[in-house]
Structure formats: structure tokens, C-alpha cells
Amino acid sequence: MRDVLEELRSQYDHIVVDTPPTLSVTDAVVLSPRADAIVLVIRSGQTTKQALRRSRDVLLQVNAKVSGVLLNAVDLSSPDYYYYYEYKSKYSRYYRDDATHDHDEEDGDTEDAADVSPNSA
């Protein structure tokens, strides 16, 4: 597998290797030190925090470069998602770019500006 990855590195800018789950098969753990970055894919409502932490710890033990987490199968109609949406809408003014923020402060109209922020959809 090492030779295959080296050959692919010489031909491509990005290589994605999809492995079985980290905790059930050792493939991911064995291959991970050869990767430039690791993204853990977890399933919404199914992967436990304990399983995520254990996967992260196992990968870090072999010096894998864990870069992030991808949350899969999110139920957008879930009340949990609705809470996030409301939170984001309420606090969207904090996530605007500086130019919009500076303009709104000059007008003294910061509350209304949150409603038209690109992040408040």
C-alpha cells in the first residue's frame, strides 16, 4: 500500500482514502500515519461522544494528523437543528464581515442588520 500511495502522490494533488470504521477494523489506524490529514466521519444521532473520543485517541497514538470531523446524515427537520438555526440567526451579527459591521454601527441600526446578514438565512 505504501508503494501505491507514493505512485498516486506523484500523479495527483489530492488522494482520498475511505477506510472502514476506526474502532471495528485496523485498516484506518494502519493507513493513517501515511496520510497528510485525517477527517473522521461520524453519523448524526448514532456515533457516541465516547466512540468519537476513542477513535481520535487511537489515531493520535499512531501520530495520525486528525484535521477535523464530518457530520453525516443530519436530520434538518430535527428540533436540535432548529435550535442551532435560531442560535445562529440570533447571533448572526457577530459573524458578519467588518465592512457591513462598521456601516451598521454608523447608522446605529445593529439589530435590523442581523436580519439581512448572509449568515441569518
Residues 6+ apart with CB under 8 A from 74: 44, 81
What is the average per-residue pLDDT within 28-37? 94
Query: What pLDDT, on the 0 to 100 scale, is given for residue 84?
Result: 53
Task: Give the global pTM.
Answer: 0.62
Domain boundaries, the chain: 1-74, 76-121
The pLDDT tens digits for 82-120 are 555 555 555 556 555 554 444 444 444 444 434 443 444
Helix (H, G, I), strand (E, B) or coil at 38: strand
Q: Give 34-57 pLDDT, tens digit per residue.
A: 999 999 999 988 999 999 999 999
More confident residue, 32 or 89: 32
Residue with C-alpha cell 439581512?
116
Distance CA(107)–CA(110), nearest Å, equals 8
